[in-house]
Amino acid sequence: MRIGILTGGGDCPGLNAVIRAIVRRGVDLGGHTFYGFRSGWAGMLAHDGIELTRANTAGILPRGGTILGTSRTNPLSSTGGVGAIIETFERECLDALIPIGGEDTLGVALALWREGLPIVGVPKTIDNDIGHTDVTFGFHTAVQIATEAIDRLHTTAESHNRVMVVEVMGRHAGWIATYAGIAGGADAILVPERPFDIEDVCSRLRRRHSSGLTFSIVVVSEGAKPLQGSTMTLGAPGESDEFGHERLGGIGVALEREIESLTGFQTRATILGHVQRGGTPTAYDRVLATRFGVAAMDAATGGRFGHMVALHGSEIVEVDLEEALREPKLLDPKLYETAEVFFG
Ligand code: F6P
């Protein structure tokens, strides 16, 4: 078989591990060749890419980012986009396509599958919000980075008697905030799934500080929002990408201002931003990404298309792509209840 591979959307630690695993598995099975498209769907639209071999995918396992590059190009947003992709697929004489991406990249993959392209999806996102898989690779690394940052912020918060607001990624779901918040001992965690009452957050902080403690850590997802009708104001919305997603970032700064003015406590915000997506994947993410890559190759050689590889418990399985993309996987309320035990 000749297989096309691409990485789309935001990058994520573990992408290279997936690419390496697909190629290695395919080469070992014998007779398979690989073409990697540059910069996600943009590479397919422009027929731009490179031959992937065992030699040029060796040594990339621990490397962050993606050797193929990525973009948020949406071929469904332009007329003729789907036709151009099908043309590239045929010109490159491909038998299957393995897109590695999040909800947007896999959404395009689903549309192409409906058009008849043989597709096996591999889910990736540090946000961990793709349905029908317990975890996506990249999430563990992001949580580790955020936890290390919270640990560092703890000591400076304590020295200066300050409230430290830590803004982490998480557009629809508060997985990173809640995991890193639990691991780092946060005193409040604000997530997209639960609009927050700023008065309530501040009274918890006041209660904590009146009990003799002089510092607090507040972890907030970039996608968190104040309750409707709240007096708290956010900055103007950022521009949207080709998939219609608004550019997020900055709620931490708004919280810094609000908490300081309502409580009188000195408050500082740290936006972790893309630090969470960069650098080498953790061992857990390398293993998960490798297992996903091998399973995707096996699904392609077995002719099982229209699927996405996924983790269920400790097993790697294949799930229906359409089912998987029906809804984002939001935070488990029970996990949040555990985090709440330690608030204030
Ligand atoms: O890939 C998901 C994500 O990490 C979101 O959490 C975040 O909102 C977005 O990517 C940031 O994207 P960009 O790299 O385009 O700024």
DSSP three-state, residue 120: strand
Alpha helices in the chain (DSSP H): 15-29, 41-45, 81-91, 103-114, 139-160, 175-184, 198-210, 251-263, 283-301, 321-325, 333-340
Query: Is residue 125 lining ligand 1, measured as CB closer than 6 Å?
Result: yes
Residues in the chain: 344
* 94 CB burial (10 A radius; 0-12, 13-18, 19+): buried
The pLDDT value given to residue 313: 98
Query: Is residue 286 lining ligand 1, measured as CB closer than 6 Å?
Result: no
- Token couple for 92: 């490159």
Q: Which amino acid is at 227?
A: L
The pLDDT value given to residue 230: 82
Looking from the CA of residue 170, the nearest atom of ligand 1 is: 6
Choose which residue among 171, 191, 272 to substitute to test ligand 1 binding: the one with the highest number of ligand atoms within 8 A of its C-beta.
Answer: 171
Q: How confident is the model at residue 229 (pLDDT cuts 50, 70, 90)?
A: confident
Measured CA to CA in angstroms, residue 225 lies from 72, 110, 208, 233 at distances of 24, 30, 23, 10
pLDDT tens digit sequence for 28-55: 998 899 999 999 999 999 999 999 999 9
pTM, 2 dp = 0.96
Rg (CA), the chain: 22
In CATH, what class is 140-278? Answer: alpha beta
CA proximity to 264, closest of 189, 340, 163, 170: 163
First vs last C-alpha separation in the chain: 58
Cα 10 to ligand 1 centroid, rounded to whole Å: 5
Measured CA to CA in angstroms, residue 308 lies from 68, 299, 337 at distances of 20, 9, 31
Query: Is residue 126 lining ligand 1, measured as CB closer than 6 Å?
Result: yes
The pLDDT value given to residue 333: 97
The pLDDT value given to residue 231: 81
Long-range contacts: 331-337, Cβ < 8 Å, 24+? Answer: 331/173, 331/174, 331/175, 331/178, 331/191, 331/193, 335/178, 335/182, 336/174, 336/178, 336/189, 336/191, 336/193, 336/194
* Separation of alpha carbons 99 and 22, rounded Å: 11
Query: Is residue 10 lining ligand 1, measured as CB closer than 6 Å?
Result: yes
The pLDDT value given to residue 2: 98
For 129, half-sphere exposure in the C-beta direction (CA atoms, 13 angstrom radius) is: 23
Q: Measuring from atom 13 of ligand 1, which residue has the nearest CA? A: 10
Q: Return the domain boundaries, the chain.
A: 2-138+281-324, 140-278
CA proximity to 147, closest of 282, 253, 4: 282
Q: How confident is the model at residue 344 (pLDDT cuts 50, 70, 90)?
A: confident
Specify the fold of 2-138+281-324.
Answer: Rossmann fold (3.40.50)
Residues 6+ apart with CB under 8 A from 273: 167, 169, 249
Token look-up 């080469």 returns 27
Confirm if 322 and 306 have CB atoms less than 8 A apart: yes
Cα 44 to ligand 1 centroid, rounded to whole Å: 22
Query: Is residue 258 lining ligand 1, measured as CB closer than 6 Å?
Result: no
Confirm if 204 and 257 have CB atoms less than 8 A apart: no
Cα 265 to ligand 1 centroid, rounded to whole Å: 31
Query: Is residue 192 lining ligand 1, measured as CB closer than 6 Å?
Result: no
The pLDDT value given to residue 249: 85
Q: Active-site residue 48, yes or no?
A: no
* Separation of alpha carbons 121 and 99, rounded Å: 5
- Give yes or no for residue 62 having a pLDDT over 90: yes
